[in-house]
Amino acid sequence: MSTPVASPIRFAIAPISPEFVQRVRATLRDDFGRTVRVSVAEGGEPLRDQLRRAAPGERIILGGYQAVALPSEFAAIGPVFVSADGADAPPPIRDALPAGYFNRTFALRGYDALDRIAHSTLVEPERAPDEFAAMLARPGVAYLHAHFAGHGCFAARIDRSESDQAARSG
């Protein structure tokens, strides 16, 4: 379930790379060769492959993920939770927030085409659609990343919706 919003710039929130999730589930190693941790959720852990919070008792995996690739100066490895039980990823969520996923203040970072941070701010969930639109409208911002403010972990990538990208380039 998603919460629809009105925004002048259309956006899409994508789950973490399905290829990453499949590799981690199959090998129980992250992309850096480290063994991942499989555990039982306490409840509320953010599942990056599902864009939802884990239910108590659900099997989850914790592993390292690099959301920005090298050679960017902003390439960093951070912990992410994914579902352990093979659920398919949902399609990108368009013009809406994943219900309950962003439930507190988060950091929003705008990256340029060279994967460098062009702008950043802290965002309250109820302001997120307006902040997504404002940051995506900034010159030089190619895409956004949301990070959970408390631990600083990668939450999701936000892009302009395809229809909005076509209008900007046409």
DSSP line for 11-55: EEEEPSPHHHHHHHHHHSB-TTSPBPEEEE--S--EETTTTEEPP
Question: Which DSSP state fits 163?
Answer: H
Strands 59-66 and 37-40: antiparallel
Residue 166 pLDDT > 50: no
Q: What are phi and psi of 147, to 5 degrees?
A: -130, 135
The total number of residues written for the chain in this structure:
170
* Gap between the Cα atoms of 140 and 137, Å rounded: 9
Predicted confidence at residue 163, as pLDDT, reads 56
Task: Tell me if 53 sits within 8 A of 47, measured CB to CB.
Answer: yes
Rounded to an integer, what distance in angstroms lies between the CA atom of residue 76 and that of residue 122?
Answer: 19
Question: Token pair of 108, please?
Answer: 């929003």
> Given a cut of 50, is residue 101 above it in pLDDT?
yes
pLDDT digits (tens, 9 = 90+) for 25-55: 999 999 899 999 999 999 999 999 999 999 9
Single-letter code of the amino acid located at 11: F
Contacts of residue 101, Cβ cutoff 8 Å, sequence gap at least 6: 46, 51, 52, 53, 155, 156
Beta bridge partners of 39: 60
- Write the pLDDT tens digit of every residue in 55-76: 999 999 999 999 888 788 888 8
Dihedrals phi, psi of 48, to nearest 5 degrees = -70, -25
Check pLDDT > 50 for residue 134.
yes
Question: Is the pTM here over 0.75, yes or no?
Answer: yes
- Domain range annotation of the chain: 9-169
Q: What is the pLDDT of residue 168?
A: 42
Which pLDDT score is estimated for 75? 80
Identify which has the larger pLDDT, 121 or 5: 121
Pull the structure tokens for residue 30.
């992250």
Prior bond of 71 cis (ω within 30°): yes
Kindly indicate the confidence band of residue 2, based on its pLDDT and cuts at 50, 70 and 90.
low
Residue 143, beta-bridge partner list: 111
| Confidence at residue 33, expressed as pLDDT on a 0 to 100 scale | 93
